[in-house]
A and B are shown apart, each in its own frame.
Chain A
Amino acid sequence: SQQGEEDPQALSIQEGENATMNCSYKTSINNLQWYRQNSGRGLVHLILIRSNEREKHSGRLRVTLDTSKKSSSLLITASRAADTASYFCATGRGANNLFFGTGTRLTVIP
Chain B
Amino acid sequence: LAKTTQPISMDSYEGQEVNITCSHNNIATNDYITWYQQFPSQGPRFIIQGYKTKVTNEVASLFIPADRKSSTLSLPRVSLSDTAVYYCLVVPERGFQKLVFGTGTRLLVSP
Chain A complexes with chain B: no
Write the residues of chain B forming the contact surface with A, with a CB cutoff of 8 angstroms: none
